[in-house]
Structure 1
Amino acid sequence: MRIKAKLVFRPETLDRLRTVFDNLGIEIEEKIDGIAFLFIDDERYARLKDELSRMGIKPFELREKVFSEKELNSAEFLYMGPAGYWGYPQPEERMEDWQRASYDLSTACPLCGFGAVQNIPYLVKREPKFGRNDILALNWTYEFLVTERLRRLIEDASLTGVEFWPLLRYKRKELIQGYYQLFVTNRLPPMSPNTEIVDLKLPEAGPKRCSCGRFGRNRALDSVYGVAVPIRYKRGSLKDAKDFNLTSEWLGLYDARPKRIVSHRVYQLFSAHSIKRVTFEPVIVED
């Protein structure tokens, strides 16, 4: 695994930095802002940061984990997350409106959402527009929506732990043809205690305080890398795992959700058929 940094520079700083970029051999994408991509183990990254500190320039920085094909291909289980979004659940005026339309909230924390159970398909304004994609996540929910093509691929591969729920057109409650919610049915036991989960009472995370005592999240920033820490499971906890699974833990910052843990078969299927707009990260399985 390597960590890639995305450094975003304000337009007014670019002229001051051109000589620095040229001397270090760093290419800049100039759009509205200037953007540079560097792995943090690249010696140019440390040299650039030193120069920026000397000049009093602080770019906006995002980091992401980058895994090799070998790391991904050897993983028994992987975290599957969204890398593209479409649309919003309806009615979208307030969070409690769309949640009430599709969830049983009788056992849910009113602030962090822990314990909400979806019992009605999502309502959306119109038929999804995915372009050439076969999977995108519904904004706010982080739930995956898939095309008929991907549904058939998953069913033909006999992948387990998943159902395909319909989408309903808002107000008319009509079925939308050709698109489905990827509804995961299997829930895993708790993660390994070695997973660095921080339990929070909202905050720290925001102005409202959550009193349910069960709200948690992966630590947003690792002390070394500045990215989410890896998910770990004891091998015995995965003996009843399906191809698609949900974590027992509800993780998030403001609105907690279970995360999806998938088998290597899912990763193989998605790779073989060039299914994009998802991210995969190896899960550490402890013997």
Structure 2
Amino acid sequence: MTTVTTEFTPAEFAGADHCALHVVHASGYPQPEQDFSFRERAYDLSNWCSKCGEGAVQVAPFRIKRSLKWGRNVFLKLHWVEEACFVQTSVWAEHLASLGIARLPVEDSRGEVLDDVVQLDPGPALPLSLEEEEGIRCGRCGRVRYPWHERGFFPAPVLSPEVPLFHSAQRFGVEHQSANAIVVSATVAAAIKGAGLRGAELWPCVPSTQIAGDGR
């Protein structure tokens, strides 16, 4: 299977006001994992669609096993949970806390708060510049999800938010495995790249100059 993607130049990164943060290092499963029962524990599922995955709202800390494999990575995602970004507490404190990125607690499988790992607070849900006809409408709930972005600049936010990190109102992916994108400001992206933090890839959003040139 051939995958076509895009490599960006330093100038293209520098010209982007925002970047999508795509966590690529995965280890472990949310607890309890049997029958996906972590969903009922961590989410409000009153508006959740089991077909497309839209509508679940996190209301409790994720629980994980202490045996997660980090390797040389500082960012991590769990299998089955694409939209939650976990990071070592020491890295959050040194590189991200001062930029205004908040954290959420993470618990072990018994419900004890862990001191060495946190979840990055996903921030507000903000829309990206996408047209509904570009997406796929769910036959059950009628909501739209989008194929995961694989080429070119990532869609930019409709408005330029003054927050260091937010998640997209739209979801990307396939049925049962769609997720909100995590988007960070240029300042946060520069800090991640400058410190060489591993486990996530940055994907620059459409530069504001290009949006202005398109008349949007």
Instruction: Mark yes or no: TM-score above 0.5.
Output: yes
What CA RMSD, in Å, does the superposition of the two structures yield over aligned residues? 2.2
Q: 1:218: which partner in 2?
A: 147
Deviation (angstroms), 1:195: 8.5
Matched with 2:71 is: 131
Residue number in structure 1 paired with 2:113 = 175
Mapped contact 2:54–2:143 kept (Cα < 8 A): yes
1:163 aligns with 2:85: no
**Match in the other structure for 2:187:** 265
* 1:37-56 superposed matches below 5 A: none
Q: Is contact 1:86-1:130 (8 Å) kept?
A: yes
Q: Counterpart of 1:74?
A: 15
Partner of 2:96: 154
Contact 2:171–2:178 at 8 Å: present in 1 too? yes
TM-score normalized by structure 2?
A: 0.85
Q: Deviations over 1:141-192 (max 9, x none)?
A: 1211101222112113x33xx421121111x21122210111212221x322
The structure 1 residue matched to 2:25, chosen from 84, 89, 93, is: 84
* Matched positions, count: 206
Q: What 5-or-longer segments of structure 1 have no aligned partner?
A: 1-59, 202-209, 221-226
Name the larger-Rg structure: 1
> Which of the numbers 154, 164, 174 marks the counterpart of 1:243?
164
User: For residue 78 of structure 2, what is the amino acid of its counterpart?
Assistant: L
Q: Residue type matched to 2:154 in 1?
A: I
Counterpart for residue 283 of structure 1: 205
CA distance 1:272–1:283, shift in 2 (3 Å): same
Matches within 5 A, 1:24-43: none
* Consecutive unaligned residues in structure 2, runs of 5 or more: none
1:218–1:229 CA contact under 8 A, matched in 2: no
Match for 1:98 among 34, 38, 42?
A: 38
| Structure 2 letter corresponding to 1:69 | P
Q: Would the aligned equivalents of 1:197 and 1:219 in 2 still touch at CA under 8 Å?
A: no
